Amino acid sequence: MRQRAIGDINALPATLHPVLRRVYAARGVVESDLPLELKNLVPPSLLKGIDAACALLEDALRRQRKIVIAGDYDADGATSTALAMLALRAMGAKSVGYVVPDRFLMGYGLSPALADLAAEQGAELLVTVDNGIASVSGVARAKALGMDVLITDHHLPGPELPAADAIVNPNQPGCTFPSKHLAGVGVMFYVLLALRACLRESGWFADRPELNLADYLDLVALGTVADVVRLDHNNRILVQQGVARIRAGRARQGMLALLEAAGRAPAQISATDLGFVIGPRINAAGRLEDMRIGIECLMCEDGAAAEESARTLDKLNRSRREIETQMKDEALQIVAEEGSNVGVCLFDADWHEGVVGLVASRVKEKLHRPAIAFARAKEGGLLKGSGRSIPGLHIRDAIAAVDARFPGMIERFGGHAMAAGLTLPEQHYETFSAAFDAICSAWLAPAQLEQVIETDGELTPKELHIETAQVLERAGPWGQGFPEPRFEGVFEIEEARLVGATQTHVKYKVRVNGVSLAAMDFGGVERMQRRGLVQLVYRLTINRWQGRESIDLQIEDLRAA
């Protein structure tokens, strides 16, 4: 357990709540980072390739060329696709469609097979969203079929860029855009901002309404949070503005229907809810069936149709949870029986390839080790792996290092620092597993393998108050790279009982400084304590019931004091 180092607290206004001032300083926030209005966004003009992208799109609009969006099968890809479809239609595109790869047959990104699907729709301009920067062969196939190609992506490029007509990606070589952490949906939003400015300047909106792109910020916020990109200042603006629209009831019909299916009130939604409530329901479509179900839900204009789509996604998500629980238990059993390497690889012939990423994430959290889970692909003889990493190891680079040591062993791979995927012939699994472990062992120091819980220190009796919880709730959005505040302290357990249908959650009543407080430890049955003093790491949340608010401690770590 370690308290976060507090930066320059004097760089923040003294008028801030003292706890918030401390929390912000520990995250390197300065006064100029505080405004989260849209006017504070980094301008689109700083993105390399943005002018060429606008020229392609404006030409397609003026000539009414067939535009096809090439999407992806996760929540970022789904929101990017929905955003592009809805906004381009609103700008005047009369012929725009989309294609999404079959996760189980085509794999990730713009493959030659996906380019063929776009050609079947009559694509003249192919626009990738949340993919394409590594699709050398897919772009070549699209060009051979006579399409112009615009790539919008945020992933790291490989050694060779595809021969597209335009590329917009803050991480491409030579791009000076300062916010390198845009999600795919954020990149597409920026392209649309620039396109609208170009169309405005050329008089396109003289005889048609000019769309308000802020109307689509709920999609941008969802994709940004669900893709777990770093919430730098620019992304915090996008997420904050999107969350504000959802709270005001001004979200897409599908978004509101998904919240209703999850039993969440839009007025009380947070960025965390986007990642843990809506995102998994969208992702369930791509993991188990067809991401088009999720895209169509997000694009729904009719409330009844949106509710039906949301119910389908909710049902898929329940199935996904059941599959994930079984696979996670099996993975942890393998680890218990065989032990764990520094770089953990796991494979079971019966695992579902759409869920291996979630299993890798659970194993990574449990062991604090980089983990890759594999399942058999529908393509005979191949395994598909999905990996998650810990701070200190760039997992895509680690896989690339294995690829360099064993050229041709890995069929394809991609990703970024904390998550990556690959396809591998099953006969090479053991070789890859050993090589990945060797790379991780070489790149990670022993201290990096020790999980350290960072906290924002203790709250004084005066600070452990509903006002503090309200201030922190309003101070978000919190997320990747901008962690929600968590505190530590010693409390006395007064009462403990198991709750929930599975009886795996523990509800506590704890006492500190003569005050009793409610506390909840989700999934904490294994560390349950009945009595005595305990050291807690917790988040300060608000329990709302029948119009009343009280503080609730959400336990993240519990051990005897």
For position 238, what pLDDT does the model report? 98
Pairing of strands 548-560, 515-521: parallel
Distance CA 285, CA 316 (A): 7
Q: Is 459 helix (H, G, I), strand (E, B) or coil?
A: coil
The CATH class given to the 340-449 domain equals: alpha beta
Distance CA 158, CA 133 (A): 8
**Per-block average pLDDT, block size 10, for the chain (561 residues)?**
90 96 96 96 98 98 97 95 98 96 83 96 98 95 98 92 98 96 97 98 94 97 94 98 96 96 92 94 93 96 94 96 94 89 95 94 94 91 95 94 96 85 95 97 95 94 94 93 96 94 92 93 91 96 87 94 86
**Domain 45-312, CATH number (from 3.90.550.10, 3.90.1640.30, 1.10.8.60, 2.60.40.1840):** 3.90.1640.30
39 phi, psi to nearest 5 deg: -65, -15
Distance CA 288, CA 281 (A): 11
149 phi, psi to nearest 5 deg: -130, 125
Q: Which fold has domain 455-560?
A: OB fold (Dihydrolipoamide Acetyltransferase, E2P) (2.40.50)
Q: What sign results for the dihedral spanned by CA atoms 168, 108, 229, 3?
A: negative
**DSSP 8-state symbol, 380:** T
For position 102, what pLDDT does the model report? 85
Q: Element (H or E) spanning 53, and its range?
A: helix 50-62
Q: Which residues contact 37 (CB under 8 A, 6 or more apart)?
A: 237, 241
Q: Element (H or E) spanning 219, and its range?
A: helix 217-226
For position 539, what pLDDT does the model report? 96
Q: What is the pLDDT of residues 68-88, one digit of tens each?
A: 999 998 999 999 999 999 999
Q: Element (H or E) spanning 431, and its range?
A: helix 429-443
Q: Is 328 helix (H, G, I), strand (E, B) or coil?
A: helix
Q: What is the pLDDT of residues 144-158, one digit of tens each?
A: 999 999 999 999 888
Is-contact 97 81, C-beta < 8 A?
no
Distance CA 145, CA 119 (A): 7
Is-contact 191 168, C-beta < 8 A?
yes
User: Where are the strands (E) in 262-360, listed by range?
Assistant: 344-347
Q: Give the pTM.
A: 0.92
For position 412, what pLDDT does the model report? 87
For position 72, what pLDDT does the model report? 92
**Buried/exposed 143-170: b ≥16 CB within 10 Å, e otherwise:** beeebbbbbbbbbbbeeebbebbbbbbb
Burial of 430 (0-12, 13-18, 19+ CB in 10 A): exposed
Strand partners of residue 69: 98, 127
Shared fold status for 45-312 and 455-560: no
**Apex 190 CA angle, 71 and 412, nearest 5:** 35
Q: Which residues contact 478 (CB under 8 A, 6 or more apart)?
A: 231, 270, 271, 272, 484, 485
Neighbours of 223 (CB within 10 A): 35
For position 340, what pLDDT does the model report? 83
Token readout for 404 is 């360099």
For position 181, what pLDDT does the model report? 95
Q: Is 442 helix (H, G, I), strand (E, B) or coil?
A: helix
User: Where are the strands (E) in 216-348, listed by range?
Assistant: 344-347
Distance CA 288, CA 536 (A): 38
Is-contact 388 367, C-beta < 8 A?
no
- What one-letter code names the amino acid at 124? E
Q: What sign results for the dihedral spanned by CA atoms 426, 428, 430, 435?
A: negative
Token readout for 283 is 């992702």
Distance CA 362, CA 559 (A): 21
Token readout for 396 is 């895509």
State how far Cα 397 lies from the chain centre: 20
| H, E, C per residue of 499-510 | ECCCCCEEEEEE
Show me where the domains of the chain are located. Answer: 45-312, 340-449, 455-560
For position 105, what pLDDT does the model report? 78
